[in-house]
Amino acid sequence: IPLGQTPGSYWSHIIAETTNAGDDTTIMNVTVPTNRSWIRIPINFGDTLAPLGTSGSVGQIYIKNIGNVRLDFEVFRSTYITLSPSSFSIQKQIERNVTVNFSVPDTATEGLLASTVTMKAKEEDDGPNANPYTQETNFNLNITNPPPAISDIYAEPRNFEILYESVTIGATITDNYDVDRAWINISQPNGT
């Protein structure tokens, strides 16, 4: 029986023939039960860095209907998580992805936030529920306020006479918030 065969009762003839004693025929009945099985991958995303006041991607959840009827799903999420889509249908032997993103406000409490995305198969009127009924993908949002990143540092000219020459110093400074201020510390060869 092929994967995803539509549920129902099927029959066929079985014929046995001989060269010297005639033949015989019987009917074979096969019943294919409803199969509402499905899988999802991954079970866990691990830890995702989620700086305060930012949005980003957690990952994709792969869901496949390995049964033989269409399944309808609802997807539920934890705080600071967004999903696309949040409800959908999957035909038999078909897969689809659910995109999981985060959006952390700047007022969130820093720390590890245990998060869950729950996929739930909708109840059916014509028979038992999906198998399994729900599945979860777990992960942690590491909510933090990272320090600014400093790059492209330059000073022109590189060698100069202190108190007698002008020097241009610059850098690219990025942060998940506006950069409040920046300063430099110039040390002379004698350590002052």
Q: How far is CA 191 from CA 7, 130, 185, 187, in A?
A: 84, 73, 11, 6
pLDDT at 81: 97
CB 84 within 8 A of CB 98: yes
Q: In angstroms, rounded to a whole number, what is the distance separating the alpha carbons of residues 117 and 61? A: 9
Q: In angstroms, rounded to a whole number, what is the distance separating the alpha carbons of residues 144 and 16? A: 75
pLDDT at 68: 92
Q: Which residue has the tokens 């729900």?
A: 134
pLDDT at 1: 85
Q: In angstroms, rounded to a whole number, what is the distance separating the alpha carbons of residues 181 and 29? A: 80
Per-residue pLDDT tens, the chain, 192 aa: give them: 888 999 999 999 999 999 898 899 999 999 999 898 999 999 999 999 999 989 999 999 999 999 999 999 999 999 999 999 999 999 999 999 999 999 999 899 999 999 999 999 887 655 457 788 889 999 999 999 888 889 999 989 888 787 888 889 999 998 877 778 888 887 878 888
pLDDT at 121: 87
pLDDT at 128: 54
Q: Which parts of 66-178 are beta strand (E)? A: 71-77, 81-84, 87-90, 95-104, 111-121, 134-144, 149-156, 168-174
- The C-alpha angle with vertex 89 and arms to 85 and 95, in degrees rounded to 5, equals 85
pLDDT at 42: 96
